[in-house]
Amino acid sequence: MSLDIQALRAQFPILARKIDGKPLVYLDNAATTQKPQAVLDAIMDFYTTTNANVHRGAHSLSDEATRRYEQSRDDVARFINANCREEIIWTAGTTESINMVAKGLAQQLKAGDEVVVTEMEHHANLVTWQQACKVSGATLNVAPILDNGELDLDGFCALLNSRTKLVAFPHVSNALGTVNPIKTLTEKAKAVGAWVLVDGAQGIAHGGVDVQDIGCDFYAFSGHKLFGPTGIGVLWGKLSVLQDWPVWLVGGEMIADVTYQDATWGGLPNRLEAGTPNIAGAIGLAAAVNWFSALDTAAVQQHESALLASAHEQANSLEGMRIIGTAPKKMGVMSFMLANAHPADVGFILDRQGVAIRTGDSCAQPLMKKLGIPGTARASFSIYNTLEEVDVLFDALRKATMMLA
């Protein structure tokens, strides 16, 4: 199977937009991906035909909504090869998923315990552990990266010991594009008895995530980076770990029994899903998962690799352009500096050419400080981007170079 890129693009209504009269070239996919018509239709269909609360009503709409909502859990479980549906916990996104784990871990950490993260973390996978360690008195250790943006594996391993309680790292760096050897990192961490959380926000939309094969305890991701809606995400966790994990929120649906004096919690997944959930979001995410699953994963990855290779090749021939993050294994992200220009100025000029990129610190301020730069311009690619759009990007960059000289 191969990808018919033009037919695929036709499924994304927003890609027909123009910006200042120029065709939209959307290269901010690491921030959020666009949504295919199948996802838009699923959300609209729920609200126009089935809208009702789940698990609570005795009427047909509630029953239909519950069945669609729980079928969505099954679809996502299958997509990442979860061991069972109870391991899928709906959240608002990666950030909330990580916070759910961190808040629970903070109750179990004590002085002398250690948590390990990396220098390439998004704030969501750094600040949460930073604060958990502050509350508990544990120590936060940060594994170094090499000059090319690759994780220093020896430095990572040197931090692991019997006091290490949890290790957290990104599947793919949102700021550098580095693909981490998550299975190897997990094995190293499990060898000292630590829990392992993978921030999968940037890895999930490129296919091939198998949580059982990875061997981690938690894998967190957001729907909106997987062609789904915003405000919905997943915390996957091993059943044996989640069963006793401290509750995140309390309220409706997550209880077993309540008196005026006390309450007991229900079973998974309900015990970690208090309140009315984002029903339409879950249904939309399932639609995205099923749409994406119908594509040839190898063809998707080959196409995205070709886009990144073309971008790197053209960057090497553009005077004054410096790529930030040149690890041997990268995925979909090209962060860069353009001569002495501020990234915000580059982004503004590109926007006038219809090219949408990210500028700034990419929610990785400590990393930018380490690199000695104010931030970067970042082009990030997805399956609906074309080689012609990469050419448009570099035409716009050449104009920016002349204007900012």
Complete DSSP assignment for 102-166? HHHHHTT--TT-EEEEETT--GGGTHHHHHHHHHHT-EEEEE-B-TTS-B-HHHHHHT--TTEEE
**Nearest Cα residue to 402 out of 333, 353, 335, 354:** 353
Residue range 263-278: mean pLDDT, rounded? 95
Whole-number pLDDT of residue 232: 98
Q: Cβ atoms within 10 A of the Cβ of 14, count?
A: 10
Residue 326 has pLDDT above 90, yes or no: yes
- 362 backbone φψ class: left, alpha, beta (φ>0; ψ -120 to 50): left
Whole-number pLDDT of residue 291: 98
| Distance, CA of 390 to CA of 379 (rounded, Å) | 9
| Distance, CA of 383 to CA of 162 (rounded, Å) | 42
Catalytic residues: 363
Q: Cβ atoms within 10 A of the Cβ of 257, count?
A: 9
Radius of gyration of the chain from its Cα atoms, rounded to whole angstroms: 22
- 363 backbone φψ class: left, alpha, beta (φ>0; ψ -120 to 50): left
Residue with tokens 């040197």: 158
Q: Helices 387-404 and 343-352: crossing angle, nearest 10°?
A: 120
Residue 277 has pLDDT above 90, yes or no: yes
51, 107, 151, 188, 194 from 191: Cα distances, Å: 47, 23, 19, 5, 8
**Nearest Cα residue to 232 out of 271, 277, 281:** 281
Query: Please, which residues have CB within 8 angstroms of residue 340's CB and are 6 or more apart in sequence?
Result: 320
CB 33 within 8 A of CB 226: yes
| Distance, CA of 202 to CA of 1 (rounded, Å) | 25
| Distance, CA of 270 to CA of 255 (rounded, Å) | 8
pLDDT category of residue 248 using cuts at 50, 70 and 90: confident
Residue range 320-331: mean pLDDT, rounded? 97
CB 329 within 8 A of CB 171: no
Report CA 381 to chain centroid distance, whole Å. 14
Give me the long-range contacts of 67-73 (CB less than 8 A, separation at least 24): 68/279, 68/283, 69/277, 69/279, 69/282, 69/283, 71/286, 72/282, 72/283, 72/285, 72/286, 73/269, 73/282
Whole-number pLDDT of residue 14: 98
Whole-number pLDDT of residue 3: 86
Q: Cβ atoms within 10 A of the Cβ of 243, count?
A: 12
Strand partners, 186: none
Question: What does the mean pLDDT of the chain come to?
Answer: 96
CB 159 within 8 A of CB 103: no
Sign for the pseudo-dihedral over CA of 387, 337, 30, 142? positive
CB 25 within 8 A of CB 356: yes
CB 357 within 8 A of CB 28: yes
Whole-number pLDDT of residue 154: 98
Kindly report the pTM of this predicted structure: 0.97
| Distance, CA of 300 to CA of 78 (rounded, Å) | 19
Domains in the chain, start-ordered, CATH in brackets? 5-29+296-404 (3.90.1150.10), 41-293 (3.40.640.10)
Strand pairing category for 25-26 and 355-356: parallel
Residue 30 has pLDDT above 90, yes or no: yes
Residue range 77-86: mean pLDDT, rounded? 98
Residue 1 has pLDDT above 60, yes or no: no
pLDDT category of residue 57 using cuts at 50, 70 and 90: confident
Whole-number pLDDT of residue 236: 98
Q: Cβ atoms within 10 A of the Cβ of 359, count?
A: 21
Give me the long-range contacts of 339-344 (CB less than 8 A, separation at least 24): 339/401, 339/404, 339/405, 341/400, 341/401, 341/404, 342/374, 343/374, 343/375, 343/376, 343/377, 344/375
Residue range 245-265: mean pLDDT, rounded? 93
Q: Where are the alpha helices (DSSP H) in 10-126?
A: 37-45, 60-79, 94-106
156, 327, 355 from 366: Cα distances, Å: 17, 19, 28
